[in-house]
Amino acid sequence: MILNTELEYKGNLFPSKIVFYKKHVDTLYFKSENNVALQVTVQRDSVLRFRFATVSIFEKDFSYAITKYASKGYNLLEIEEDPTKYIITTSKLICHISKIDMRTAIFDALDNTLICEDELGFHWEESYENGGDIVKMSKVSQEGESFYGLGDKPVDINLKGKRFENWVTDSFAFGRETDPIYKAIPFYIGLHHKKAYGIFFDNTFRSFFDFCHERRNITSFWAQGGEMNYYFIYGPNISDVVSNYTDLTGKPHQLPPLWALGFHQCKWSYYPESKVKEVTNKFRKLQIPCDAIYLDIDYMDGFRCFTWNKEYFPDPKRMVKELADDGFKTIVIIDPGIKIDNDYSVYKEGLEKDYFCKRADGPYMKGKVWPGECYFPDFTNPEVREWWSDLFRELVEDIGVKGVWNDMNEPAIMDVPGKTFPNDVRHNYEGERCSHRKAHNVYGMQMARATYQGLKKFSYPKRPFVITRAAYSGTQRYSSTWMGDNVATWDHLAIANNQAQRMCMSGFSFAGSDIGGFAEQPNGELFVRWIQLGIFHPFCRVHSSGDHGDQEPWAFGKSMTDIVRKFIEIRYQLLPYLYTAFWRYADEGIPMLKSLVLYDQEDRHTHFRNDEFVFGEKILVCPILEPNAKGRRMFFPKGEWYNFWNNEIVNGGEEKWVDADIDSLPIFVKAGAIIPKYPIQQYVGEKEIEQLKLDVYFKLGKEKSQVYEDAHDGYDYKKGRYSLRNFTLEGKETSLTIQQYKSGKFITPYETFEIKLNGLPFKVNSIKIDNELVQIDKIKNNSFIVSKEFSTIIFQ
Ligand code: MIG
């Protein structure tokens, strides 16, 4: 054994002085006397990429996270040099690189303020154990700096003072502060002096972030291998940081079918077929809207993926069709573990084609999961992904399954230390073979990707739907996600609220929690409060482990059922609003939920808020997170807000008490908003939409709103067949003007709008539509029907 030799531990090493510099198009190369190479790429004016190599040779430039659609190009790139530093200037940023030690400092190009500055900067430790380096970075945390992001961490929104690890982990019944859990999203946002920037550390090894935890004014991040490879992303608005990060790591490749934004019901497990039908029939009988029903692992034959238990489900194709006729889309679970069984075709094929992961010395990676001993496809091999995607043909094309749920893809292994593969497992990694140390964090992502490719192929011309538990940055391109195995407690309701907001701030908006809690059982009150929050999450599904009793909307007595129905109905009415928010996310990377700090970062009151968030662009929500509440105090961002229930106006900028008994929830609409609504449907497509309701909220001044619609499925929208309505509202003391500008070739099925006027401060004496006066008795109860083609309406 080698003990304490220089080879084993050399301590921290640092770059020495720069001795070489060259520029090639958008990239600058620097080399230090001790052979450290630094490459700075100007990706955009506001996005700089930094890569360090300790032996002057960079690895092959490849990332699972970065999308090929990432924008590139800048308006300005100038390099200057003075005796102590190089100075890189773009139209947004100025970056200093110190000649003696390669440390960097980044400034806002417009006003020269310091945004982000290295403390020790890049340094490393050689890894005797694995070869290569443990790569490290430390930065000075600025005065009053706050930190956000990092994906699914079950903690407060502001990360200051905490340390985190990124290593995707099956975390049954995780709790507040459990770390790490299911996802690895090594992206954070720093905010100080009203300006925000982001850092995306694109390194798939086990990585760590420290936000002033170890040292009060230092932020650091490091990884157990690979390169120091990070993107600096400037805002100065948080929402720009997030949309730039999402531009790099990708947006959903297509919009979800609208039904996927409806309500989903799940349990471990609904079987046999009669039980599934009993549940779906009850939804219809009780008139509680629902679009999707899930089959958990028990639908399979001995948990073998791509098989059916014929005793429980004798004729899946017929059942799936009958469910579809009743408006239910069937979603089935598929895990990565393939049962070792010589009579099982998927196993045999995987073996023949050499698609399963192997240990360092050649044996297969054998692990116990639900089916018993299993082998695991190496999803980092493109050929394996292609094979996997083809396995979905029967499920999707023939049986008619509409979505697939990927679970256990951390990958989770039972009864072993670490709950996953050992580090020595080998992976293809797109031909750049590596160990599990490097591939672990992307394994689940690549499984979701392969699943997505299958669904996309076989659902065509409809849109695919996939949900995954494990994820690395970029997984949002392929899949939706849920937060894993939470618990039916009040604290978990608060955690779910933080996680959904954090996921949105981390570029992955299509996320939600197991409503009601997965482990243990909620009482009716907790279930109702969770539904009230869940209807505002982009992904809205009730799920539970089932060994603690029922968790359907009717499981808690009639009065609770009625409240649950009322809230799910609100979600269905708001579908066009939600769909518009999704379009904004898929189009521009705008987070679908906005934590208050993202909504108004200039107001310091928002920096440590957790509970309140803005759903889409205009609706402020604050969940009730405690039992027996009749209301709560909440913070209102500045501006005017209408109480959703009674139209009372609240002036923002401070904390206020809001009544919200069990059948209510603090929901507020921004003054000036125009909120589109559909009629209540039991499932998407149940009704032809014959009229679009526009809830108009008066404001003194101007406000813009948008409504995006298309065929709600398929790809025609990509060819211009969408309908985008841009509304501008302008309110004065005695008049209200609404203008509409429409673009896109999609013809909506309805001909008219019902305009509902809320909060109008004057009595209407005349109405002018596109310069023609119409009779004012057409207004009834503040409602008014008008052709969808109008361009200007003036109420006076
Ligand atoms: O070891 O498929 O998080 O949603 O119901 C448990 C059974 C495996 C964990 C998932 C959960 C799912 C359950 N799964």
Each residue's pLDDT tens digit, 225-268: 999 999 999 999 999 999 999 999 999 999 999 999 999 999 99
For residue 412, the ligand 1 atom closest to its alpha carbon is 1
pLDDT in the model for residue 7:
55
Q: What per-residue confidence (pLDDT) applies to 438?
A: 98
Query: Which atom, in ligand 1's list, is nearest to the CA of 335?
Result: 2
Residue range 393-413, pLDDT digits in tens: 999 999 999 999 999 999 999
Evaluate: CB of 484 within 6 angstroms of ligand 1.
Answer: yes
Q: Which two tokens stand for residue 742?
A: 């429409």
Q: Could you give the angle at the alpha carbon of 470 between the alpha carbons of 417 and 535, nearest 5°?
A: 130
Q: What is the pLDDT of residue 2?
A: 45
On the question of pLDDT at 464 being above 50, the answer is: yes
Q: What is the chain's mean pLDDT, rounded?
A: 97
Radius of gyration of the chain (CA): 27
pLDDT band at 6 (very low <50, low <70, confident <90, very high): low
Note the pLDDT of residue 777.
81
pLDDT at 75 over 60: yes
User: What is the CA(295)–ligand 1 centre distance, in A?
Assistant: 11
Q: What is the enclosing helix (H) or strand (E) of 208?
A: strand 207-211
CA distance 479 to 468: 6
pLDDT at residue 8 greater than cutoff 70? no
Ligand 1, atom 5: nearest CA belongs to which residue? Answer: 268
The 8 Å CB, 24+ separation contacts for 779-785 are: 782/756, 782/757, 782/758, 783/754, 783/755, 783/756, 783/757, 784/754, 784/755, 784/756, 784/757, 785/691, 785/752, 785/753, 785/754, 785/755
Per the residue annotation, which of 145, 179, 291, 485 is the catalytic one?
Answer: 485
Amino acid at 21: Y
Out of 152, 265, 296, mutate this one to test ligand 1's pocket (max ligand atoms within 8 Å of CB): namely: 296
Per-residue pLDDT band for 674 (boundaries 50, 70, 90) equals very high
pLDDT reading at 330 higher than 60: yes
Residue 177: φ, ψ to 5°: 80, -5
Alpha-carbon distance of 241 to 236, in angstroms, equals 7
Say yes or no: CB of residue 145 within 6 Å of ligand 1.
Answer: no
Catalytic residue list contains 654: no
Annotation says 343 is catalytic: no
Mean pLDDT of 102-109: 98
Closest listed residue to residue 592, CA positions, set 574, 572, 568, 609:
574
485 is catalytic: yes
> Per-residue pLDDT for 56 more than 90?
no
The Cα–Cα gap between 488 and 486 comes to: 7
**Which two structure tokens, joined as six digits, stand for 709?**
């619609």
Candidates 152, 171, 265, 268: which one to mutate for ligand 1, based on the most atoms within 8 Å of Cβ?
268
Does the beta carbon of 528 lie inside 6 Å of ligand 1? no
pTM of the model as a whole: 0.98
Catalytic residue among 247, 335, 407, 569: 407
Q: In degrees to the nearest 10, what's the CA dihedral of 506, 205, 145, 149?
A: 10
Measure 529 CA to ligand 1 centroid, in angstroms. Answer: 23
